[in-house]
Amino acid sequence: MILAELVAQPPCNDTLGMNARTDAPLDLFTFGSTNGHKVAIALEELGLPYELHTVDVFAGEGRTPQFLAINPTGKIPVLRDREADLVLTESDAILLYLADKAGRLVPSGGRERTRAMELLFLQASLQGPMFGQRMHFSVFSPETVAYGIRRYEEQGEIIDSLVDQLLSGRSYFLGAEYSIVDIAFYAWYFASRAAGFPIDRHTSLSGWFERVSARPAVARGVTIPHPLPALPPRKRA
Ligand SMILES: N[C@@H](CCC(=O)N[C@@H](CS)C(=O)NCC(=O)O)C(=O)O
């Protein structure tokens, strides 16, 4: 979604963090959760200066008229590129925009770029929604809904096996080169592991997770704008 211009400045708590600067041409509206982590990691990896705006979407700050004018879904992350007069939502679209802007972390053309797009769509349409529902039913739901827990834990296991297969015999999703596809998948694995969903029995997946975790920009990105809070204990069906 591209809005021609912001209709108002959001009333966010502006927080300066990590490599962020107040005079930067990019604004990142985010909170310390998966989809926001993706963009924070990419900005840190690419060394693009950005101004950080914390929007506590879980306390309703995403539903203010000012924020809804930027993103009608009321969700983070949102990126504003002042120089390009562009406001962009959807974490994987933002990853692609940033990588193209910097000319790094995504193939510029050919079959490799087509493969990267395929995997980004897979992340956005399968891993993200399924892991999101799993987190909801197994961790945050105020009720214990056995069917919901079973359904999404089963889906999670199917995705873990698929990702393990995709990573088999390669260091990263696209082969030898780390890319925004790794960043896109990593953010949900980071949160899922913190919520108590193990991946150890999948050797390719767990090896990849360790490799990506060891990157300094990734370690910084998952603390922006704050470290992941302690999560409630995982419910059992
Ligand atoms: N498809 C969107 C999902 C964004 C999303 O669900 N963001 C969450 C935080 S990770 C959010 O803002 N949740 C608050 C809400 O839904 O009200 C993306 O990839 O950016």
Q: How far is the CA of 140 from the centre of ligand 1 (A)?
A: 15
- Ligand 1 pocket residue status of 57, Cβ below 6 Å: yes
Nearest ligand 1 atom, CA 33: 10
Separation between Cα atoms, residue 48 and residue 31, nearest integer Å: 19
Are residues 17 and 48 both part of a single domain? Answer: yes
What are the tens digits of pLDDT across the range 149-189?
999 999 999 999 999 999 999 999 999 999 999 999 999 99
- Pairing mode, if any, of strands 86-89 and 78-81? antiparallel
Residue 22 confidence (pLDDT) above 80: no
224 within 8 A of 52, measured Cβ to Cβ: yes
Per-residue pLDDT, 6 = 36
The closest-lying atom of ligand 1 relative to the alpha carbon of residue 92 is: 19
89 in the same domain as 56: yes
Ligand 1 and 96: CB distance under 6 A:
no
Which pLDDT value is given to residue 20?
63
221 vs 1, which has greater pLDDT? 221
Q: Which pLDDT band, with edges at 50, 70 and 90, does 42 fall under?
A: very high
Residue 36 lies inside a defined structural domain of this protein? yes
The residue whose CA is least distant from atom 2 of ligand 1 is 90
Residue 167 sits in a domain whose CATH number is 1.20.1050.10
**197 and 114 belong to one structural domain:** yes
229 falls within a domain: no
> Is 138:235 a contact under the CB 8 Å cutoff?
yes
**Number of neighbouring beta carbons within 10 Å of residue 160:** 21
Counting ligand 1 atoms within 8 A of each CB, the residue from 71, 76, 95, 121 with the most, and so the one to mutate, is: 76
Q: Which atom of ligand 1 is nearest to the CA of 31?
A: 9
**pLDDT per residue as tens digits for the range 185-204:** 999 999 999 999 999 999 99
- What is the extent of the structural domain holding 34? 2-102
What is the SS3 assignment for 42-68? HHHHHCCCEEEEECCHHHCHHHCHHHH
The model's pTM is 0.93
Same domain flag for 69 and 139? no
| Domain identity same for 22 and 83 | yes
* 114 in the same domain as 205: yes
Query: Contact at 8 Å (CB) between 17 and 56?
Result: no
Q: 114 and 191 in one domain?
A: yes
Domain of 75, CATH number, reads 3.40.30.10
Residue at which a domain ends, from 60, 75, 102: 102
Has residue 222 been placed in a domain? no
Provide φ and ψ at 107, rounded to 5°.
Answer: -65, 145
Interatomic CA distance for residues 204 and 77, integer angstroms: 29
Ligand 1 proximity of 163 Cβ (cutoff 6 Å): no
Residues 153 and 83 in one domain: no
What was the pLDDT predicted at 19? 61
Q: Are 36 and 76 in contact (CB under 8 A)?
A: yes
Question: Does residue 175 belong to any structural domain of this protein?
Answer: yes
Contact by Cβ (8 Å): 120, 95: yes
Does a structural domain hold residue 18? yes
CA distances from 233 to 70, 150, 196, 201 (A): 34, 16, 8, 21
- Statement: residue 3 has pLDDT above 80: no
176: in domain: yes
Which DSSP category does 230 fall into? Answer: P
Region of poorest pLDDT, from 8-17, 71-80, 144-153: 8-17
Is 84 found in the same domain as 12? yes
Average pLDDT over residues 39-43: 98
Give whole-number Cα distances, 96 to 101, 117, 120, 154, 227, in Å.
8, 9, 9, 30, 25
Please identify, among 42, 70, 102, the residue that sits at the C-terminal boundary of a domain.
102
Question: Is 235 a domain residue?
Answer: no
Whether residue 2 has pLDDT greater than 50: no
Predicted confidence at residue 13, as pLDDT, reads: 38
> Is 155 found in the same domain as 81?
no
Cβ of 74 below 6 Å from ligand 1: yes
pLDDT band at 17 (very low <50, low <70, confident <90, very high): very low
- Mean pLDDT of the chain, nearest integer: 92
In terms of domains, do 114 and 207 share one?
Answer: yes
| End-of-domain residue from the set 65, 80, 102 | 102
The reply to whether 224 falls in a domain is no
CB of 76 shorter than 6 A to ligand 1: yes
Q: Which atom of ligand 1 is nearest to the CA of 75?
A: 12
27 lines ligand 1 (CB under 6 A): no
Please state the domain count of the chain: 2
Residue 23 is predicted with a pLDDT of 80
Q: Are strands 13-14 and 50-54 parallel, antiparallel or unpaired?
A: antiparallel
Residues 114 and 169 in one domain: yes
